[in-house]
Amino acid sequence: MSHQTLEDLLGSVDDTVEMLRRNGHDYTDDFPVVPNEYTNWIDEQRAIMETCALGDLSHHMDAIHFEGPDVVDLLSDLCVNDFDDFEVGRAKQIVACNPHGDIMGDGPLLRLGEEEFWGVPTCSDWILYHAETGDYDVETDLDPLTPMQEGMPDTFIFQVQGPNTHDVLDQLTDADLRDLGFYRFEEIELAGREVRAFGHGMNTETGFEFHGPYEYADEIREAIVEAGEDHGLKQLGSRAYLTQSVRLGWIVPGPPPIYEYDDMQGFREYLSSRSWEATYSIEGSYDSDDIADYYMDPVELGYENLIDFDGDFVGKEALREKVQNQQRKLVSLQWDADDVVDVYASRFREGDSYKFMELPRIAWARAPCDEVRKDGETVGISHTRAYQHDVNTVVSLCRLDLEHAEPGTEVTVVWGEGDTPNPKVEKHVQTELTATVAPAPYAEDRRKETQTA
């Protein structure tokens, strides 16, 4: 059987948006190795905010290892960042765009040596494509962290985060992690093993990541759990872990901005029909026939301060125009608790029911897209949504028109699907929920910020 590409797949369908709406996906399937819950998601979520939590990202995303004399050239050509100040021992939140200034992905990249980098960006396919097809002297290696790849990962990735983090880690290492700057890393001894400690986390609380050989994963995990027994540590199942990005104010950029542009054909032919991009899924009340209406850009996601216009990267001029003509910004929406309760109440009374919300992270697709209105007009698109214990309601992240983005502004979120081809969506009627605008992140960011990313 010949290899089918994403380009072949798109040629066999009439409507890209319908294809992505039809794609079935359960978001927790991204973590099939990690249990949905170790205890229960409520106590696990509370631990992140009140005590301490251990998250296992060892089966979460593919990690890329780059090495060679042209790695910096490759990254400079694809990413909006300034690499002149990128020292060994530091990390950057890299951001990559397509030629039209739409965001391809982002994520942390660590500089291990002058010609050596490691990271878990959400645009790994895009970078690998250029490394393999461009004129670069670069060697790449993909660490199969996701179960979509065969075999076990080479590296474990553990996150320890919460107010009691230092009380737990002080029992496991003599290293003074309080001096480890945000987005900096160093080699330390943790529970008797050499690991990499990285000042990073997926919540607004103090936290660190630890990377090391996967053969020691169980040993390190058990040591952290034992050290945390007297400090309220909980292991995070996938349900609780996936709610953190909402509190942090971070969206996985998507859908990938690749489906209809002529100048992206080569990339579509590089991708298989079973790739992440081909199996992508969208859901929600926002409904447009034009797939480009779902694309995001770095400016509205708050990455303008990372853009280095002195460089020459893919999408530079298109992105410059987006900076000059910014339309939306990223905010948090805190949904009215009584309106959320009414969604559940509709299941226990006569008449129409509203679309069911399965807590804590409310999503069956990779990209939730809900229409946001003000005075009956569409003013934004609400995305990742999750129950948040500290505010006792559902919070979502939203790209909202600038004129309505002031904290305290009331808007409405259209809840429920319109016509959809996906059988995962039950029969229901749409309703409008009141929501209040808040900053993104809505909580104070207590992560170490001695250095910028």
pLDDT of residue 377: 97
What pairs with residue 223 in β-bridges?
Answer: none
Q: Which helix (H) or strand (E) holds 302?
A: none
Please tell me the pTM assigned to this model: 0.94
Nearest one of 358, 344, 326 to 424, comparing CA atoms: 358
Q: Which helix (H) or strand (E) holds 52?
A: strand 52-56
What is the distance between the alpha carbons of residues 246 and 203, in angstroms, rounded to a whole number? 9
pLDDT of residue 62: 82
Residue with tokens 């949904």: 335
pLDDT of residue 450: 37
Q: Which residues of 191-202 are buried (b: 16+ CB within 10 A; e: fewer)?
A: bebebbbbbbbb
Tokens of 420: 């959809």
Strand order in the sheet with 207-213: 185-190, 193-198, 207-213, 155-161, 52-56, 233-235
Q: Could you tell me the domains of the chain? A: 31-61+152-248 (3.30.1360.120), 63-143 (3.30.70.1400)
Tokens of 373: 């209105």
Mean pLDDT by 10 residues, the chain (453 residues): 86 95 68 86 96 92 91 97 95 97 97 96 94 96 61 87 96 95 96 97 93 96 98 96 95 93 98 92 95 97 96 97 97 98 97 95 92 98 97 98 98 94 91 98 77 36
pLDDT of residue 143: 72
Nearest one of 321, 367, 359 to 340, comparing CA atoms: 359
CB atoms within 10 A of CB 349: 9
Tokens of 223: 């040591």
pLDDT of residue 422: 85
What is the distance between the alpha carbons of residues 450 and 452, in angstroms, rounded to a whole number? 7
